[in-house]
């Protein structure tokens, strides 16, 4: 057994900190969102919490991408917060090797949940299948197409009387339910 594992002391403060992390989405959209808006940057812990939430397998690649770019998380997120336009915020993130549109969308959604939404192929497919108007003609592959996707989601969420975040959750849940229905079919 490692020394570190043996030296861990459980106390109510630590347990309550970990309890906040159990509901990672609440932690991201409450704690991390607040810190980003107060400090106009993110610490590595919060930044990588978003990465792991969106795509755990990408974390090491993104860590290497930051090193390749010679940037710290704080520097990158300060640049994002100072970018003049939504497109510039996206492009700033995309400059880091390992950050594609889906991960950039997750970072921006946590930091600006009323402006951005998570780009996910399941949500995209559901909206396309439902013939939601104004979607880009294909799954977004550029900042402009992603912003068009965000606008279409905004309009649709407004029509459905949902927040942008709740629309994303509902689309994710629909995909989850479809997968579950497929699994139990015939049982």
Tens digit of each residue's pLDDT (9 = 90 or more) over 92-142: 999 999 999 999 999 999 999 999 999 999 999 999 999 999 999 999 999
- Both 79 and 138 in one domain: the answer is no
Query: Do 124 and 102 touch, CB atoms closer than 8 A?
Result: no
Mean pLDDT taken over the chain: 95
Structural domain count of the chain: 2
* Of 63, 92, 115, the domain-final residue: 115
Reported as a pLDDT band with limits 50, 70 and 90, residue 9 is confident
Q: What is the pLDDT of residue 8?
A: 75
Q: What is the largest CA-CA distance in the chain?
A: 58
Residue 111: closest CA among 165, 170, 171: 165
Last residue of a domain, one of 115, 130, 156: 115
State whether 62 and 108 are in the same domain.
Answer: yes
Instruction: Judge contact between 46 and 35, C-beta under 8 A.
Output: yes
Cα of 9 vs its chain's centroid, Å: 32
Mean pLDDT of 54-62: 97
pLDDT at 6 over 70: no
Q: Which of 100, 115, 130 is the last residue of a domain?
A: 115
> What's the domain range around 65?
20-115
Are 125 and 89 part of one and the same domain? no
Percent of the chain with pLDDT over 90: 94
Q: Are residues 147 and 109 both part of a single domain?
A: no
Residue 67 predicted with pLDDT over 60: yes
**pLDDT bucket at 159, cuts 50 / 70 / 90:** very high
């Amino acid at each position: 057994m490692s020394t570190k594992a043996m030296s861990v002391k459980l106390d109510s403060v630590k347990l309550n900190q970990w309890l906040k992390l159990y509901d990672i989405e609440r932690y991201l959209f409450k704690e991390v969102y607040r810190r980003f808006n107060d400090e106009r940057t993110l610490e590595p812990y919060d930044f990588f919490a978003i990465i792991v939430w969106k795509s755990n397998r990408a974390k090491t690649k993104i860590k290497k991408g930051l090193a390749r770019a010679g940037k710290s998380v704080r520097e990158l997120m300060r640049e994002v917060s100072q970018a003049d336009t939504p497109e510039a915020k996206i492009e700033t993130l995309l400059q880091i090797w390992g950050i594609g549109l889906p991960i950039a969308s997750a970072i921006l959604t946590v930091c600006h949940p009323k402006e951005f939404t998570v780009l996910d192929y399941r949500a995209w497919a559901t909206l396309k299948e439902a013939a939601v108007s104004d979607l880009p003609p294909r799954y977004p592959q550029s900042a402009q197409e992603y912003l068009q996707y965000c606008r279409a989601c905004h309009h649709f969420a407004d029509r459905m009387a949902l927040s942008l975040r709740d629309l994303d959750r509902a689309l994710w849940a629909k995909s989850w339910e479809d997968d579950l229905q497929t699994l139990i079919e015939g049982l």
